[in-house]
Amino acid sequence: MKETTLSVIGMTCNHCKASVESALSEVEGVQHATVSLEQNQVTVQHEDVPRERLVDAIEEIGYDVPTA
């Protein structure tokens, strides 16, 4: 099990939180995703999943992950 924390831009409400958690949970190999609205971050527990696949799942539903 690995854990990745990503910054996410654009999450403001609890529906945003639920949407991002749901989108990540649907990625193959992801066990769990928890958004912190206060920190503008999501922490993901997953198997060997490329970071880019996590980023894509977030960006596909309209949120941004800053590069860097």
Binding site for ligand 9UX (CB under 6 A): 12-13, 15-16
Q: Is 51 helix (H, G, I), strand (E, B) or coil?
A: helix
Q: How far separated are the first and last CA of the chain, in Å rounded? A: 24
Work out how close the CB of 44 gets to ligand 9UX at its nearest, in angstroms, rounded to a whole number: 19
Distance (Å, whole) CA 18 – CA 2: 21
Work out how close the CB of 10 gets to ligand 9UX at its nearest, in angstroms, rounded to a whole number: 7
Whose Cβ is closer to ligand 9UX: residue 1's or residue 13's?
A: 13
Work out how close the CB of 64 gets to ligand 9UX at its nearest, in angstroms, rounded to a whole number: 13
